[in-house]
Amino acid sequence: MSDVALNKHIAILAKKPLMGLGIQQFIQDLQLGFQCVLVASSFLSLQKELIASDILLTVVELNGTAEEVHTLGNQILSLSDNYPDMNIIVYAECCDITLLSLLYYKQKISLIAQGDSLKQIRQDLEQWLMGSKVCSASIALHFERARTQINSGLQVLTRTERRILQNLLAGLSLTEIASLSHRSVKTVSAHKCNSMRKLGVCNDLELFHFSQKSGLLPSRVIKNKR
């Protein structure tokens, strides 16, 4: 975070005014010289203000319904893409590990859990303001549990199920996989459904996210050994 020393202006996105004030107070209490110059209650208003600003630090509150969290999560990812020099910290109430993983995968996005103690939140926020990429210990624990679940899920897949999923992720259709593996489309489809049930994913998008985290995504088509 090399620009921090030159620019200590901070933007805050919080739906509720009290939450915005609370985040400002956290930052002021640290007495590090940072100034909250923009507090927005919607992503649209934040975007408009950022266009004409020199702000490189943004705190975003992430909570709400599942749909609201998903929408805001995608907006945060878009913000990171549109402002590659922007350092963002997500103050998260949600425990959607898939979404939090996508956010944390970005080099300049950090994560703080709203459920942590005030002392821990201040410590994490201070580390972020001083230039470190941060992930709250409680969120890191969720990540670790997810990795354990992923590893357990992969272990229960049969060799055939793993091969079929890898070929699906390589872009082959069920018909192409059936031809390649000398099986019926119905059989291949059954293997896919059984695999997804074992892995705890409900659709192709969740399967793709799972494959990214687990290393299941192949670089080539996997053929049956005969």
pTM of the model: 0.68
**What's residue 128's pLDDT?**
95
- Return the number of other C-beta atoms located less than 10 Å from residue 148's C-beta: 10
Contact (CB, 8 A) for 140 and 134? no
Mean pLDDT for 120-128 is 93
Who wins on pLDDT, 96 or 4?
96
Of 53-67, 187-201, 202-216, the poorest mean pLDDT is in 202-216
The gap from C-alpha 64 to its chain's centroid, in whole angstroms, comes to 16
What structural domains does the chain harbor? 9-144 (3.40.50.2300), 156-214 (1.10.10.10)
Q: Residue 171 region, left (φ>0) first, then alpha (ψ -120 to 50), else beta? A: left
Residues of the chain with pLDDT > 70: what percent? 87
Which pLDDT does position 4 carry in this prediction? 43
First to last CA, the chain: 54
